Amino acid sequence: MVGVQAEGASPVYRSFVTGEKLETIIPDTIADSIAVGKPRNYIKALNSIRESRGTMVTVSDEEIINSIKVLGEKAGVFGEPAGVAGLAAIPKLLEEGFMDRGEVVCHVVTGNGLKDIQSAMKAKGTLISVEPDIEDVREKLHQRTSQGGD
């Protein structure tokens, strides 16, 4: 199990790393659904992570925004910042050796991007303009895939 918090709202992470009692903070992150200075039930969260031999990481707002973009481009899913925080953690977990490439991961996107349009505007990726016609859709998709797009 992996616990993920935004860098600007990471009191549970700090407690996990230091082993000290959680200190209340003033959160500062675009991920407003996880922007909590003193989470309820944080002791249960810490116990669950420790009992599962899991870990915790933090992710920056920039990493969160990039994950909104990647999730939209690769999976067609429009996630909100807090909902993609776990996805944003995957590169760090690979880098730190907590998980291996090819390992199966379950990440639940817990919030729709329509909840936070402003963050989505920062995450804009490559847009394809198509006419409301199936042949135009096919043509544009063919063009994109033949140019090396995923």
Q: How confident is the model at residue 130 (pLDDT cuts 50, 70, 90)?
A: confident
Q: CB-based burial of residue 82 (10 Å sphere; 0-12 exposed, 13-18 middle, 19+ buried)?
A: buried
The answer to whether residue 58 scores a pLDDT higher than 70 is yes
Contact 6, 36 (CB under 8 A): no
Q: What pLDDT, on the 0 to 100 scale, is given for residue 104? A: 92
pTM, full prediction: 0.80
Domain covering 2-124, topology:
Rossmann fold (3.40.50)
Where is mean pLDDT largest: 69-73, 117-121, 139-143? 69-73
